[in-house]
């Protein structure tokens, strides 16, 4: 799948969050959005990433930036993750990985020599009109927020 780059239109989406609410990209029109994809709720790297986004929420909100996480987890799993760590931002369920495909973040991975398909941890900074300002593929969990801050 081709990677998105500066100036590309962010692929539209409509997914269900951890509370069963439908969330669309257009809901964020007029605001900047930090959109990040993570492989699996309640795993160490994903927890590090989500908690760093949670901790930056106050700063982001003050300058008009929203944050959204997307993974292939079901909404019930997302809800438990949100409640366990008090995340407080939308965690969207992309069980068929159609949105991950559209963003170029679903692909071959390898663990202990075994190859499989999954989310390639990535984040995107999207402007008020839905255009990509920055795209970070294969981002480290701890680098999601710092890279977004650098982009400002």
Q: Which residues of the chain have pLDDT under 50?
A: none
User: Would you give the DSSP letter of residue 27?
Assistant: G
Question: Among candidates 18, 33, 15, which has minimal Cα distance to 82?
Answer: 18
**Is the distance from CB of 87 to CB of 54 less than 8 angstroms?**
yes
E strand segments, 7-48: 14-16, 22-24, 32-37
Task: Extract the tokens encoding 147.
Answer: 């890279």
Predicted pLDDT at 1: 59
Predicted pLDDT at 152: 79
Q: To the nearest 10°, the Cα dihedral for 55, 79, 26, 103?
A: 80
Question: Among candidates 43, 42, 107, which has minimal Cα distance to 80?
Answer: 42
Predicted pLDDT at 109: 84
The residues annotated with a catalytic role in the active site are 46
**May I ask the CATH class of domain 14-140?**
alpha beta
């Amino acid at each position: 799948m081709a990677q998105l780059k500066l100036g590309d239109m962010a692929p539209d989406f409509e997914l269900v969050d951890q509370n069963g609410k439908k969330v669309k990209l257009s809901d964020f029109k007029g605001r900047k959005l930090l959109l990040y994809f993570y492989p699996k709720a309640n795993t160490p790297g994903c927890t590090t990433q989500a908690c760093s986004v949670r901790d930056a929420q106050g700063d982001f909100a003050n300058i008009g930036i929203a944050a959204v996480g997307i993974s292939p987890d079901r909404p019930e799993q997302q809800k438990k993750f949100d409640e366990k760590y008090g995340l407080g931002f939308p965690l969207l369920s992309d069980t068929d990985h159609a949105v991950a495909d559209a963003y170029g973040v679903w692909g071959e991975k390898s663990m202990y020599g075994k190859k499989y398909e999954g989310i390639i941890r990535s984040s995107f900074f999207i402007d008020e009109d839905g255009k990509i300002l920055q795209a970070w593929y294969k981002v480290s969990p701890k680098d999601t927020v710092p890279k977004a801050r650098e982009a400002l």
